[in-house]
Amino acid sequence: MFTGEIKAKESLGGFISIAKIFPEKWDWKRFWKMTAILSLILGFMNILPIPALDGGHIMFLLIEMITGHTFSDKFIERATTFGFFLLIALLLFVNGLDIFRLFQ
C-alpha cells in the first residue's frame, strides 16, 4: 500500500470484508488466529492520534506536558466530536465500499 502496488481502496473493508476472511468451514485454529489479528489491528488503530481515540488523548497530554499549557474543555470537546465524526465517516465509507463490491 505504501509503495503503490496495492491501492488503499482495495485494502479497505467493513463488516462484510471481515466476515469474508473467515473460512466457510469451521476451524477453531483459524478462527482464533483471525480474531487475534483483528484484535491487533483494532489495538493499533486505537493508538492513532485521532481525538476520539486513546491516541488522541495521549497526543493532547503530550502537547500539554511539552508546552505546559492546558487545552480548554471546549477545545477538547470539539476535537473529540470532530474525531468521532471522522470515525463514523470512515465506518460508512468502508461499509459502503463493501456494499458496492457486492454489486460488481
pLDDT along the chain (104 residues), means of 10: 71 87 88 92 92 92 94 94 94 93 90
For helices 73-102 and 54-67, give the axis angle rounded to 10 degrees: 150
Is 64 contained in some domain? yes
Give the pTM: 0.78
The three grid cell numbers given for residue 87, joined into one nine-digit string = 470515525
Q: What's the domain range around 83? A: 8-102
Check residue 1 and give its pLDDT.
Answer: 56
Is 1 contained in some domain? no
Check residue 71 and give its pLDDT.
Answer: 93
Number of domains in the chain: 1
Is 2 contained in some domain? no
Is 3 contained in some domain? no
Is 80 contained in some domain? yes
